[in-house]
Amino acid sequence: MVPEINAFKKWLRLKSPYSSTHIHYSSDLRIFFKWATKPPGEVTLLDIDAFIQHCQKEGLASSTINRRLASIRSFYHYLSMMNPAAPDNPVRPKRHFIHLGHRLPRDVQDSDLELLFAEINHPRDRAMFLLMLRCGLRVGEVRNISMYDLYLHSIPPGLPRIWLQGKGGVERVAYLSHQSMHALQNWLDSRPDTDNQAVFLNRFGRRLTVTGIQDRLAKYCRQAGIWITCHQLRHTFGRHLVEARVPVTTIQKLMGHARLRTTQVYLHISDSQVQSDYENAMEEVLERISLEGGAP
């Protein structure tokens, strides 16, 4: 394996200690160089072209391919900073990056949520996934919570809350609903007594990894006969807020979005005014032309 990848991973981690970028980028690079079977100095534009075709044949999403390209491009940028004689960057954005259309967040049907949580009896797992669904936490944020981040005994009318390190190391506060607070307290009551400050521990008493959390959700999904991702639970939190007519600026703060336009996409997946206008329009149209009849 290319030795520079480990140095690159350490550099990314120093730059963004609260981000999982170093994990994803180093994984992408190992995948690429295992496929390419050549050192960084011999990789060409044509190799990147072929790698994109390879990823597409594997059925990878365009967003995943673009992330892999970003990983490779960032890696070569790092090499050029460390060594003026480093090879040229083979990734050219205008040539290689795939144009992505405007995509809406994929939430979860409420009926599937009921199926999922009917399978989750472990207090730790129930607390983790309710923090995603009822508080909008990202999987990495759940993983990073430590005991000193919990403020569970606020004086009324203040709500219990969690201090989070969000994307890019940006701090934010997540408030706890009664349901999520109850689930978290149940886990804390049974959590092993250890010096490890991580709230969510694995069976060895160490902090759960992101992959470990995702694997737990996958296990419950298989039992329920459905498929849901951790980020879809967060998306569903956004939809539920929209359906409850929470102002979009409040939703932005609760979800930790840096830009309001990121939050506004949730208005498109559950817009009560649009639904009402559509329903009224169809009723009016049916009064004029019903199209009844046809084959039984």
Q: What is the dihedral of CA 46, 50, 55, 57, to 10 degrees?
A: 150
- Is 77 annotated in the active site? no
Given the residues 68, 138, 235, 240, the one annotated as active site: 138
- Is 182 annotated in the active site? no
- Is 67 annotated in the active site? no
Given the residues 167, 191, 207, 239, the one annotated as active site: 167
Instruction: Residue 7: count other Cβ atoms within 10 Å of its Cβ.
Output: 13
Given the residues 124, 143, 240, 257, the one annotated as active site: 257
- Is 167 annotated in the active site? yes
Q: What would the two tokens of residue 233 be?
A: 């639970």
- Is 231 annotated in the active site? yes
**CA–CA distance, 150 with 161 (Å, rounded to integer):** 6
Angle between helices 62-82 and 45-57 (to 10 degrees): 150
3-class DSSP assignment, residue 145: coil
Angle between helices 110-117 and 123-135 (to 10 degrees): 160
Given the residues 22, 96, 234, 235, the one annotated as active site: 234
- Is 257 annotated in the active site? yes
162 phi and psi angles, rounded to 5 deg: -125, 135
Given the residues 76, 78, 220, 266, the one annotated as active site: 266
3-class DSSP assignment, residue 17: coil
Q: What is the dihedral of CA 247, 168, 147, 208, to 10 degrees?
A: 110
Given the residues 13, 191, 231, 239, the one annotated as active site: 231
Catalytic residues: 138, 167, 231, 234, 257, 266
